[in-house]
Amino acid sequence: MAGQKKERSGTERVKYGPLAQWIGFNLRMAQESGFQAFSHLSKEIGETPGRFATLTLIGRNPGISQTVLSRASGRDKSSLTPVLEDLVRRGLVARKRTDHDRRTYRLSLTADGKQALARLNRCAKRHERNLDRIIGARDRAKFLQILKKIAAEIG
Amino acid sequence: MAGQKKERSGTERVKYGPLAQWIGFNLRMAQESGFQAFSHLSKEIGETPGRFATLTLIGRNPGISQTVLSRASGRDKSSLTPVLEDLVRRGLVARKRTDHDRRTYRLSLTADGKQALARLNRCAKRHERNLDRIIGARDRAKFLQILKKIAAEIG
DNA sequence: GCGCGATCGTTTGATATCCAACGATTGTAT
DNA sequence: ATACAATCGTTGGATATCAAACGATCGCGC
C-alpha cells in the first residue's frame, strides 16, 4: 500500500479546474462564508443577516413600503411577507396603512426595533472589522466599488 | 401639493445608511445579481448555477465522494442528495458503490454529463466575459484573490 | 362617472439551503 | 473478538428565496 494515503479531514486534494478562476463561483463561496460568520455572531441576538438589512433600511427610511423595501434589499417582495409578519408580531416593526393609498403599508421601527438594531449594529461592526482585516485597508474601497458595480450593471 | 412627487419605478430615493459601506451586504447583492444573470443565461440549457459547479467538480475529480464534493462546493452534504438524485436519474452522473468501503459513492460524469458540462461552460464563458467587462482586466486578479481570502479565512 | 391597466401585498408552489439525528458501515482500542 | 467512536449518505424539519397568479385598490383617459 505504498502511496495509498488515507483521506484525513481537510486533506482532500480537490481539483477545481476552471471554477478556481471564475468570479461567479468565488463570489458565492465568499458570500456564503461571510453569511455564516455573521449568522454565528448574531445568533445570540436571535436575528439573521437578512432581517438585519431589513431593519436597517426601515430605520433609515421610516414610512417605506414593502415593495420599495424589497427592491432596496434585493429580494422579491413576496420574500418579505413572512419576515415582516414576524417582525411585527414580535413588536420590532410597526405597520400602518395609509389613508390616501390603502394598498400600501408604511413601515417603521418601534422602540424595541431600534434597540434590536443597535445591538445588531454592534455585531455588524465586529463582523466588518474581521472582513477589513482580511481584505486590507488599502484595497477595501476598490473592492466595495467593484461589488456595487457588479450588482448595478449585471442585470 | 407642491413637492409631492410621485414615486416612479426606479425613482425611489432609499437611504442605505451604514449598509452602503458594509462588505457583507454588498457581497450579497453582487452575488445574487450574478447568480440571477447566470441563471438567465443557462436557463435554456435547463441547469442552475449550483448544478454547474457540481458537474465541474465531478468532471475534474472522477470518483469523488459526496461528502468531499459538498465541502469543495461549500454546501452541506444533505443539500447534494436531491441534486445528485436528479443528475443520476437524468443520466448525467454515474454513482457507483465501492467495494472496500460500502458507505461511500464514487461519482463520475457520463458521456451525456460531459456534453451538458461543455454546453454550460460556453454559457459560463459568456457570463464571465460580462463580469470581466464590469470589473476591468486590471483589477480582476486582485478582486478574485480577495474573494478567495474571504472564503478561506472568515470561518 | 367609468373602465382598464398598473401597483400593493399576499398566496401558492417550487428550489435551495442548513442543521440535527439516523442506520449502515468502518476503524480502532482493548 | 468485541465494543465504541467516527464517517457516509439520507431523512426530517426549518428557513429563505423566487416566480406566477390573485384580490384589492388606485390612477388615468375618456
pLDDT at B10: 44
Contacts of B109 in chain A (CB under 8 A): none
Note the pLDDT tens digit of each residue in B7-43.
344 457 899 999 999 999 999 999 999 998 888 888 7
Q: How many Å does it take to go from CA B76 to C1' D12?
A: 15
- The rounded percent of chain B whose pLDDT value lies above 90 is 75
Asked if residue B74 keeps its beta carbon closer than 7 A to nucleic acid strand C, the reply is yes
pLDDT at A97: 93
- The rounded percent of chain B whose pLDDT value lies above 70 is 93
Q: How many Å does it take to go from CA A39 to C1' C22?
A: 27
In this prediction the pTM is: 0.89
pLDDT at B2: 34
Q: Which one has a higher pLDDT value, A114 or A13?
A: A114
> Which residues are bridge partners to A7 per DSSP?
none
- The rounded percent of chain A whose pLDDT value lies above 90 is 75
pLDDT at A11: 59
Query: Which long-range CB contacts under 8 A does B119-125 form with residues at least 24 apart?
Result: B119/B45, B120/B42, B120/B45, B120/B47, B120/B52, B120/B55, B121/A18, B123/B38, B123/B41, B123/B42, B123/B45, B124/A18, B124/A22, B124/A24, B124/B38, B124/B42, B124/B52
Note the pLDDT tens digit of each residue in A75-107.
999 999 999 999 999 999 999 998 889 999 999
